[in-house]
Structure 1
């Protein structure tokens, strides 16, 4: 090991050790989640809480605060002390809500300190078996031949799946009715029961249905094929430029000291470098993706702009 690399490693280890001692003496750190237990955001948060507690010392606990598309959780973190004791496991909706909601009690960028990206998650568009289409091209042809007869379940207003559905309709020039649900589980139940025709779902959620042939995949939301679903073509093959993947990341309240944000970010990076962790995330349809605080901050800002343009172009609204 070169001397510079050795010193860098020792410095990082020292920072983590110092942080661990401080945390062990001052109680639990909360990771606030704007979703109910059991969903993708909650799963990621619990996995990170376990590993961050091990690496940084002390106890990390998940605090579920569902409601208003994640805004309740975000507001709680925005109002917290910037001491690193309260973090937000945010989701794509954090960037979408900046434009989707006409009035927010916080600024999605200015009121938060970026910590790290954690993972991204492409989705698979699923259809009930009775739908007379097996590809995106065939679905578009069907929707044009029978306008207004197809419908699509939305696990939540303001989710990446919601806007991915809006853009699919707009770009393809089709009339598909969007039906909002209060969560992924009831939406999936109605899709399986035949009450709705289509739905975007994470790869992990879709895999069992695809394997059992209870539902059929029509396309993936990412620009490239997914490792976990190599036989499903990207929607972008038919609608060039179509690329809508969800992401997860950690934010803290504005004002966290840069060195503290970097310490937590380093622990996230170390966590995601572990092969068992990467495999566990992949089993959930997620791709591990760490970043520095500065890089994540720039990413969130670009996502607010990107999704803002989508909201305005599609006319998506909170109902």
Structure 2
């Protein structure tokens, strides 16, 4: 089947060309209590990504930041603060000055971590003001093509025949890819050793380098490697097949009706950020994400645009925190 050709930048071209980390002189310090939205921003905005570069959240943050910078206008700096499954960067932003200049783009780890860790440095309901639900992407179950395994059924057969042979990389303990890997083991009644990394980029590099035989990551950073044949996708965990991977089945199609685990991307601010700034950021981000060229750019990078405002993101958080609490309990994963 001919590959889709897009005039928009590929993920690799985008990351190479995006100059979001731009040096800019700091503007005068803003005074507390001021209604800021009319003149906002007056200095560079910093978006914290709590994961390593080149992962799906990093890709989303850079595409969003590039378009927010054009819409506001102003410089947008993306800063990666990876560690502790996302807790490090999320906690840093939760306690940053609530002036609209330190923001957060994070993944589903935000709603998973409170159930995965005995203690997290934020309250998912109280410490952040939701700005927008940006997009979502399925997770992908990936394998080294050299293993000669071409389906989930063959994977299960190999894992049962050689239970000590296989391991899988994930972007970190408690991420939805990790939980997808654990659900995979449950439905197949197999043992595959989990090897957590600090983000999707490092997890994929571990697979490419032969450190692991499998990986489970969100789809965006894996797409170029799947399309080139460097790695093989056995299945995706969304509710339907991904448009650019028509031959890759969903886990639901393979007989696992409840096996839907998507990674969503959220844009948030520290909770005391002035409401007028939150409202402006929400409107501008939703407006940018609905542009056809941005929808297409995100699609070729593995995202389905959601573009819900503050209320939509708040509802998602309220739904997903208890959902993943139940999944973690059923998987027998003990808080660490």
Q: TM-score range by the shorter chain?
A: 0.7 to 0.9
- The residue number in structure 1 matching 2:271 is 254
In the alignment, what sits opposite 1:172?
A: 188
1:20 CA displacement:
6.5
Please give the alpha-carbon distance, in whole angstroms, between the structure 2 residues aligned to 1:251 and 1:19: 17
Measure how far apart 1:48 and its partner are: 1.4
* Secondary structure at 1:165 match in 2: helix
Asked whether the equivalents of residues 281 and 288 of structure 1 are also in contact (C-alpha less than 8 Å), the reply is: yes
CA 1:57 to 1:216, structure 2 compared with 1: closer, same or farther past 3 Å?
Answer: closer
Contact conserved, 2:54 with 2:200, CA < 8 A, in 1?
A: no
Q: Secondary structure at the match of 1:235?
A: coil
- 2:197 corresponds in structure 1 to 181
Aligned counterpart in structure 2 of residue 127 of structure 1, from 125, 143, 168: 143
Structure 1 residues 229 and 215, CA gap change in structure 2 (3 angstroms) = same
Match of 2:330 in 1: 313
Partner of 2:109: 93
List aligned pairs for 1:76-225, cutoff 5 A: 76-225=92-241
Q: Select which of 286, 289, 300 maps to 2:306.
A: 289
Q: Distance in 2 between matches of 1:192 and 1:72?
A: 27
The alignment's TM-score, normalised by the length of structure 2, stands at 0.82
Please tell me whether the aligned partners of residues 203 and 229 of structure 1 are also in contact (alpha carbons under 8 angstroms). no
Give the unaligned 5+ runs of structure 1. 1-17
Distance 1:256 1:269 in 2: 18
1:228 paired with 2:220, answer no
Query: How far apart, CA to CA, are the structure 2 residues paired with 1:305 and 1:270?
Result: 30
On the 8 A contact 2:177/2:218 being kept in 1, the answer is no
Matched pairs, number:
301
Q: CA separation in 1, counterparts of 2:204 and 2:63? A: 24
Q: Which is richer in helix?
A: 1
C-alpha separation in 1, matches of 2:64 and 2:36: 16
Give the Å deviation of 1:181.
2.5
Larger deviation, residues 54-63 vs 303-312: 54-63
SS at match of 2:244: coil
Deviation at 1:246, TM superposition (A): 0.7
Match status 1:278 vs 2:295? yes
Structure 1 SS opposite 2:245: coil
| Whole-Å separation in 1 of the counterparts to 2:246 and 2:73 | 40
Identify unmatched segments of 5+ residues in structure 2.
Answer: 1-34
Please, what TM-score do these two structures have when normalized by structure 1? 0.86
Deviation at 1:132, TM superposition (A): 4.6
Cα 1:112–1:153 shift into 2, 3 Å? same
Distance 1:161 1:83, change over 3 A: same
Change in Cα spacing, 1:109 to 1:235, as seen in structure 2 (3 Å) is same
**CA offsets per residue over residues 185-237 of structure 1, 9 Å max, x none?**
44323323434221123434333333343322211111211112111000112
Structure 1 Cα separation of the partners of residues 96 and 143 of structure 2: 43
Q: 2 CA distance for matches of 1:215 and 1:310?
A: 28
